[in-house]
Chain A
């Protein structure tokens, strides 16, 4: 079984990635990077990462989230986060990344905040 499984679906002009597994150095980080690159190549710039199924992320995975955020912003798009587990929320809080990432508890709330 892959370290990180990513399922893609469309909600209006927002692409939702439902993620399940771990975002850690190696396979998990590469899977996220590849998915974001592919979406940007396809012109899909509004991306919502549903992290409900992500129970673990390391510094490489955090770096990949930052890299995704920066790449999408550079293309004029938006990246938002959905359904952070408590541990992930704690990690993004101590690294102060919740001061730059938009994170939401419900999908409806997240989708309504894309411009």
Chain B
């Protein structure tokens, strides 16, 4: 598979999560990713987009979420950018710790880290947060 890239700009409303995930699913298939890894990638993409829209952009429809998918031959790189104020991922408690198991939220980042090989957050100088996720296959 030759290297290729797809970029998608999504409005910050929940219905658009499915649009981003569908685009990612098509891209992942063309990239040659197996079914098992594809399931986890789909989940990580959905969680990253949801976080960007809900926690990053606070569902402000004047703000967008940018999804970039890179097929690098043996690895898939995904970037999700929001226009929010940023956050400290270390401040998010482990949802599998006993006091947190019955919390109704806070599992998105855990699932992203579970299904991807590497997940990193950064704050862009011009504002906004970028999460970069890599899955080797």
Contacts and interface: CB of A to CB of B under 8 A. Distances in A.
Interface of A: 24-26, 58-60, 62-64, 66-67, 69-70, 87, 91, 94-97, 99-100
A97 B101 contact: yes
Contact of A26 (B17, B107, B114): B17
A87 B39 contact: yes
A108 B15 CA distance: 38
Contact of A58 (B46, B103, B110): B46
8 contacts: A24-B18, A26-B15, A58-B111, A59-B108, A60-B50, A66-B102, A69-B102, A97-B101
A100 B17 contact: no
Interface in B82-137: 95-96, 101-105, 107-108, 110-111, 114
A67 B103 CA distance: 8
In terms of DSSP, what is the predominant structure of the interface of chain B?
helix
B43 interface: yes
**Interface residues of chain A: helix, strand, loop or mixed (majority):** helix
A25 B101 contact: no
B79 interface: no
A59 B50 CA distance: 10
Contact of B96 (A58, A60, A96): A96
Given A25-B17, A87-B39, A59 B107 contact: yes
B28 to A, nearest CB: 15
